[in-house]
Chains A and B, each alone.
Chain A
């Protein structure tokens, strides 16, 4: 079975992500309880507030989680990615069930009992702590239980903002062209198990604390509750402690975007630094959108690997250029003046659109460049991804630059499917990614862009200048990576991870040791 196999091969990562997931949930729900229970108590003392406060908690509950994460990024500024915003969002979602159950639990205490307590001279605090809370405890636990189950589910989405957890697998599975069911299940199944486990355990505590339960069961329930509280406190302290410790040590954070190649390159940078210095490198991988760039600006990341073409057009907002040197130099100098960020030397390969034909055709017709192929194009059919068809630097400019005319209008299909379609003779030419591992695997041939139509997408590490100043050994340590990764090597690395499902760390370690 694929899934079982995956778990066995990746058990340490699965365990780590599960623990991360649990940490998010535990910290958020604990914070929710620390705020929600007192608020619920307050509402029993100020019943007029109950309606508006519960209504507000209800509204917070209905905010879609992605929208809430998106909203928190600018609000939290330099802490907008990672665990903090995830915990805040989960905390907000946990409030409603906790407040509501605390309120209704205390309201449900027999009025005769409350009157007796007050009549016997209990202070309001004694009434609350010795009578109302103990009697409402099982209802409050029921609220915690609902909050926990909701949080376990919602926490999977937190992977989108770099909070880690089991959502990492789910997002990885959804990306990478054509969804990967094994990966999605690898995230979803443990998350479901966590949710069910929490539901069962807290449900048991809830029942054992019900006023009708036997004395021994109640004692055991309280004991279990106490033990849980100790574990939670320990986890929180540990998390806080390790956060502080890592701040003190010689330590940098390397990020990656949310696709395989970016993770491989970030790992490459991380391992190169680790092997040549005593700096500890924390990995903050799989950040969506332009989060890496923003996190670099805010100081949450010290480095990640960016592509010149992306930086030049998407971040700096220029029209695409085709000369790799010019793009790199202009990007580098503008990054320095605008952002105080430093581009190191490109790693070598160029991840641009690759015009691909079958290897057999290339050999038979002796094709090397796109110009060579131009005369066969009128007999060929083309298949392109939607992205290539619609982009300014894609299809329209491409046919104009080379004066091409296909036999029929190119078929639009999902990018991941075009490779196989080409290999199966359904189409004769496609535009893939130059570093895709399938190129080698399916014996496809990349025609050279001899008219330099496609803008360059050279990958290079981008660092905060302050980090490089603080750790002068980093730049020399990465010198050896310059120009080290060819297109073909990048394809192999990508295929090792995507095709062979191997661990990024191992793949990178092998690569570094095989090519000193």
Chain B
């Protein structure tokens, strides 16, 4: 997944941000029976080509927010606009096929080969077989998996990192303008995780997708984000660039930033040896 030169990507990103937002939340709340609010009064936008990382503790409402975008959940108050149209006016199936979706543990279909997994949405959309096959090869190349080796394998015959690469390829298959990612690298070992984060960050910049990415790993947020949206108890308490976030005075933001500093210092200092 090495970055292949794409000089215009930076310019595109700048111009894109001046366009109307691709995803917009307007005073969105979701409460469950019994009155508990999973998310409360969310308002934010995601610009075309932007990567917004939703950061927060477990249960803070990040994943719920993600599922509101592709209508796996519907809000109880407020509106979510995707490409300018409220999600409740979208046909849920059509909407989801325009939005790539990657989840933790990849959610690959165990009874499908890698090829069948990747070509799923194109097949549902009725692409002819030769075009699908071509697309699968293209995507496997893109995520640095050799098509000859991997296309016919089953998910259980892949390593965790390979599975997530396939998951990413599957999400990109029908070239959706928006990609939602829910802790896609969360279950990987640290080395593989860093490798995939780097490759993915380059890929995202090059493909110019609008990405909403959920994580509780602050370093991952810094690696990938154009902006970081910080969640606490179902509320979005900040949406800032990484550098703004690093300087934030908000106690929750500070807590996250400090974990990163602690980890770094721990990692750079050699362990003390007796004597």
Closest residue of chain A to B110 (Cβ to Cβ) is: A211
Q: Which residues of B contact A118 (CB under 8 A)?
A: 72, 96
Interface residue? A212 (CB, 8 A): yes
A115 near B103 with CB under 8 A, answer yes
Binary contact readout A193-215 vs B (1 if CB under 8 angstroms, 0 otherwise): 00000000000000000011001
User: Looking at chain B, what size class is its interface with the partner chain?
Assistant: 20 to 34
| Residues B97 and A119 in contact, CB atoms below 8 Å apart | no
**Other-chain residue from A110, A113, A121, A212 in contact with B124 (beta carbon distance below 8 A):** A121
Chain A proximity of B117: nearest CB distance (Å): 9
List of B residues within 8 angstroms of A110 by Cβ: 107, 110
Q: Cα distance A118–B67 when bound, in Å?
A: 11
The answer to whether A112 and B124 have CB atoms under 8 Å apart is: no
What is the bound-complex CA distance between A115 and B108, given in angstroms? 10
Q: List 20 A-B contacts (CB under 8 A).
A: A110-B107, A112-B103, A112-B106, A113-B107, A115-B72, A115-B107, A116-B108, A119-B72, A119-B103, A120-B124, A121-B92, A121-B93, A121-B95, A121-B96, A122-B93, A131-B109, A135-B111, A211-B110, A212-B156, A218-B111
- Complex contact A112–B120 (CB within 8 A): no
Distance, CA A189 to CA B105, complexed state (A): 51
Q: Residues of A with Cβ closer than 8 Å to B? A: 110, 112-113, 115-123, 126, 131, 134-135, 211-212, 215, 218
What's the nearest-Cβ distance from chain A to residue B215, in Å?
17
A-B contact count (CB 8 A): 65
Query: 0/1 per residue, B81-106, Cβ < 8 Å to A?
Result: 00000000000111111010101111
Cβ A119 vs Cβ B70 within 8 A: yes
Kindly name the residue among A119, A123, A126 whose own CB sees the greatest number of chain B CB atoms within 10 A.
A119
0 or 1 for each of B185-207: is its CB under 8 Å from A? (1 = yes): 00000000000000000000000
**Complex contacts, A134 vs chain B, CB 8 Å:** 111
Using CB atoms, name the residue of chain B closest to A112: B107
What separation, in Å, do the CA atoms of A48 and B67 have in the docked complex?
25
CB distance from A368 to the nearest CB of B (A): 85
In the complex, which residues of chain A have a beta carbon less than 8 angstroms from the beta carbon of B96?
118-121
Residues from chain B with a CB closer than 8 A to the CB of A117 are 107, 109
For the complex, what is the distance from the CA of A121 to the CA of B96, rounded to whole Å?
5
Q: Mark B5-31, 1 if CB is under 8 A from A, else 0.
A: 000000000000000000000000000
Provide the residues of chain A in CB contact with B236, threshold 8 Å.
none
Contact among B94, B97, B107, B113 for A116, CB-based, below 8 A: B107
When C-beta atoms are compared, the residue in chain B nearest to A111 turns out to be B107
Identify which of residues 203-248 in chain B touch chain A, using a CB-to-CB cut-off of 8 Å. none
Q: Which of A113, A122, A123, A126 neighbours the largest number of chain B CB atoms within 10 Å of its CB?
A: A113
The SS class assigned to the A binding surface is: helix
B54 part of interface (Cβ distance < 8 Å): no
A468→B230 CA distance, assembly (Å): 92
B44 within 8 A of A: no
Whether A113 pairs with B109 at a CB distance below 8 angstroms is: yes
CB distance from B219 to the nearest CB of A (A): 24
B150 in contact (CB, < 8 A):
no
Bound-state CA distance A135–B112 (Å) is 10
* A137 (CB) vs chain B CBs: closest residue: B111
In the complex, A77 Cα to B96 Cα: how many Å? 55
A119 to B67 Cα, complex, angstroms: 8
Instruction: Answer whether A116 and B124 are a contact pair too, CB < 8 Å, given A121-B97, A211-B110.
Output: no
Closest to A119 in B: B101
Q: Which residue of the partner chain A has the closest CB to B93?
A: A121
Q: A119–B106 Cα gap in the complex (Å)?
A: 12
Q: State whether A215 touches B154 (Cβ < 8 A).
A: yes
On whether the beta carbons of A116 and B101 are closer than 8 Å, the reply is yes
- Measured CB to CB, the closest approach of chain A to B109, in angstroms, equals 6
A131 to chain B, nearest CB (A): 6
Complex-state Cα separation, A117 to B108, whole angstroms: 9
Q: Do the beta carbons of A120 and B101 come within 8 Å of each other? A: yes
Residues facing A in B64-89 (CB within 8 A) are: 67, 70, 72
Residue in A closest to B180 when the chains form the complex, CB atoms? A119
Q: Is the CB of A211 within 8 A of B111?
A: yes
Cβ-closest chain B residue relative to A122: B124
Contacts of A113 in B (CB 8 A): 107-110
Complex partner residue of A120 from B104, B121, B154, CB under 8 angstroms: B121
Nearest-neighbour CB distance to chain A for B212, whole angstroms, equals 13
Max chain A Cβ within 10 angstroms of own Cβ: one of B95, B106, B109: B109
Closest 6 interchain pairs by CB? Answer: A116-B107, A121-B96, A121-B97, A119-B101, A112-B107, A134-B111
Query: CB distance A116 to B103 under 8 Å?
Result: yes
Known interface pairs A121-B94, A215-B154; 19 further A-B residue pairs with C-beta atoms within 8 A, sorted by A's residue number: A110-B107, A112-B107, A113-B107, A113-B108, A113-B109, A113-B110, A115-B103, A115-B107, A116-B107, A117-B109, A118-B72, A119-B72, A119-B99, A119-B107, A120-B124, A123-B93, A134-B111, A212-B156, A215-B113
Within the assembled complex, what's the spacing in Å between the Cα atoms of A211 and B121? Answer: 22
Report chain B residues within 8 Å CB of A123: 93
Residues of A within 8 A of B120 (CB): 120
- Chain A minimum-CB-distance residue to B107: A116
Separation in Å of the A216 CB from the closest CB of chain B?
12
Task: Give chain B nearest CB distance to A116 CB in angstroms.
Answer: 3
Residues of A within 8 A of B110 (CB): 110, 113, 135, 211
**CB closest chain-B residue, reference A126:** B124
Instruction: Quote the shortest CB–CB distance from A207 to chain B (angstroms).
Output: 15
Max count, chain B CB within 10 A of own CB: residue among A113, A117, A120, A215: A120
CA distance A17 to B17 in the complex (A): 79
* B181 to A: closest C-beta gap in Å: 11
With A and B bound together, what is the CA distance between A393 and B113 in angstroms? Answer: 80
Residues on the A chain within 8 Å of B107, using CB: 110, 112-113, 115-117, 119
A222–B103 CA distance with the chains assembled, in angstroms? 30
On chain A, the residues within 8 Å of B180 by CB distance are 119
**Complex-state Cα separation, A218 to B111, whole angstroms:** 9
Rounded to whole angstroms, the CA-CA distance of A135 and B180 in the bound complex is: 26
A123 to B93, alpha carbons, bound, how many Å?
Answer: 7
Contacts of A115 in B (CB 8 A): 72, 103, 107
Q: How far is the CA of A215 from the CA of B153 in the complex (A)?
A: 9
